Amino acid sequence: MVQGTGSGVGKSVIVAALCRIFTQDGYKVAPFKSQNMALNSYVTKDGLEIGRAQAFQAFAARKEPTVEMNPILLKPSSDTGAQVIVRGKPIGNMTAKEYHKYKPKALSLIQHCFDILERENDIVVIEGAGSPAEINLRANDIVNMSIAKLLNAPVLLLGDIDKGGVFAWIVGTLELLETEEKELVKGILINKFRGDMDILKPGLEFLEKRVNKPVIGVIPYFHDIKIQEEDSVSLSVEKRKTRAAKKGEGKEITIEVVYLPHISNFTDFDALEAEDDVSIRYMGKGEKIGEPDVIIIPGSKNTIGDLLYLKNSGYASQIVEKVRSGKCLLFGICGGYQMLCNTIIDPEGVESKVRETEGLGLLPATTIFESHAQKMTNQVRAIADLEFYKGELAGYEIHMGRTYFANGTIKIKNAFMIFERSGEKVMDNGGAVSSDGNVIGTYIHGIFDNDGFRHAFLDYIRQKKGSLYINENKSEDKNKSGINWDTEYNKLADLVRRSIDMNKLYEIVNKWYVKKKSF
């Protein structure tokens, strides 16, 4: 089990690295996180929703993601509430207090899911959440030390040296653990180191003596490995500015993604960001809209709440003005697609306390959230019917609302027709485009991961700009990302393998295995 001194220290990435390392070494491996709080999610082949990080880790282990890898997913919809998803299906919205009372009921489910993974694999790599030293959460903990104790799992404690104060974090975390919990910690990992190891060594020696635990690895900070971020916490203001600085100047196409308060599945744009001539800026609160070629309104866990944010911040009127003047193209995905409508109605408060509000009015449609309607969580295949692309693509949908278009309207046309949903044949509208082609909306996440669609879309933007450059690298496989994730997993595994004591790591694993078998 990998636990951290706090949130954002790199637990998800290290778990992915270990999954690939153990897989490379010939073991059957699976990731596991009993409870994940994240707005980035993934839909399994059987239509169940799990945290995106566990899907990423499963692919690192060369496994198909399953719901057992993340039995409980929390998707925050406000500062004090979240949608609770159990075994891939939502069971309702709960306040923090309500969920706190629910957690003890979840332990048997967590044990059951872990048992399934354990039977099918040689090694299960477990990820904790936040910090195990949160005293106020200890009584009802179902993701950190309670899980380590329940499963008798050896723990690696991970600290982020780039944040500063890593020695105090590690010592303080261990000091706040109970004796039984402290004994489960078998080693220390330090992440995101940049500098001279000779200067760091005295600190490591002091740390080992102080906590009586071995430091089994120091992982360097890296820039050249593409790893999907776990959640919106990773898109901090500092990181967004870093991305803009790296990608902004001298690029052919500029894209601005609105950084919504409840932004979800921003991994939709990783493939765009990987294109050499594309600059992506995540536009945060208080930042002015520039002169982009494309504005993207991404997915949201609270569509009405985030729409009101756009209106109150002045972004809504600016976006509408730019699109109607023909200055840029607007692309809405999932919640962003719903915001393009004339009206959004939530009569029973499925996502918001606001029952009805006007949308951006760019597509003549109404989106309705109905409590009796099942949440759509499916892998899908669709046909696109756009000026720049007519062909198949694949992706997934995760949404509650349904969008209905006015009868007989001539201002839009169906742009994406879903013909397969979770392996079953269907014929359903998956999005629309305005008559002038400047407004496109879809429920399909991962749409830009389709090489053929992405290249055609970017060429369309280049042509509108009068560019002479057209992408000649058009893949025939329209369902694969332009990023070779397998190569990136291997690069990550190589870096981590070189940076830790593998003999010590396997010693820890083998001791656990022998102890487990003795029961």
DSSP state of 289: P
Q: State the DSSP string of 355-411.
A: -EEE---SEEEEEE--TTSPPEEEEEEEEEE-SS-EEEEEEEEEES-EEEEPTT--S
DSSP state of 353: S
What do you get for the CA distance between the two ends of the chain, in Å? 20
The tokens describing 109, both together, are 């489910």
Cα-based angle 47, 299, 61 (whole degrees, multiple of 5):
50
How far is C-alpha 442 from the geometric centre of its chain's CA atoms?
A: 19
Identify the three-state secondary structure at position 12.
Answer: helix
Place of tokens 């014929």: 427
Point out which residues pair with 440 in neighbouring strands: 331, 433
Q: Catalytic positions, please?
A: 334, 445
Q: How far apart (Å, rounded) are the C-alpha atoms in residues 478 and 455?
A: 10
In one-letter notation, the amino acid at residue 180 is E
DSSP state of 467: -
Identify the three-state secondary structure at position 334.
Answer: coil
Parallel, antiparallel, or unpaired: how do β-strands 155-160 and 185-193 relate?
Answer: parallel
Place of tokens 């009206």: 343
DSSP state of 3: E
DSSP state of 14: H
The tokens describing 437, both together, are 């082609």
Point out which residues pair with 283 in neighbouring strands: 258
Q: How far apart (Å, rounded) are the C-alpha atoms in residues 477 and 393?
A: 9
> Furthest-apart CA pair in the chain: how many Å?
76
Helix (H) or strand (E) holding 16: helix 11-24
Q: State the DSSP string of 167-217.
A: HHHHHHHHHTS-HHHHHHEEEEEEEEE-S-HHHHHHHHHHHHHHHT--EEE
Q: How far apart (Å, rounded) are the C-alpha atoms in residues 86 and 104?
A: 14
Q: How far apart (Å, rounded) are the C-alpha atoms in residues 405 and 366?
A: 6
Q: Find, among 424, 260, 435, the residue nearest to 334 by Cα.
A: 260
365, 405 Cβ separation under 8 angstroms: yes
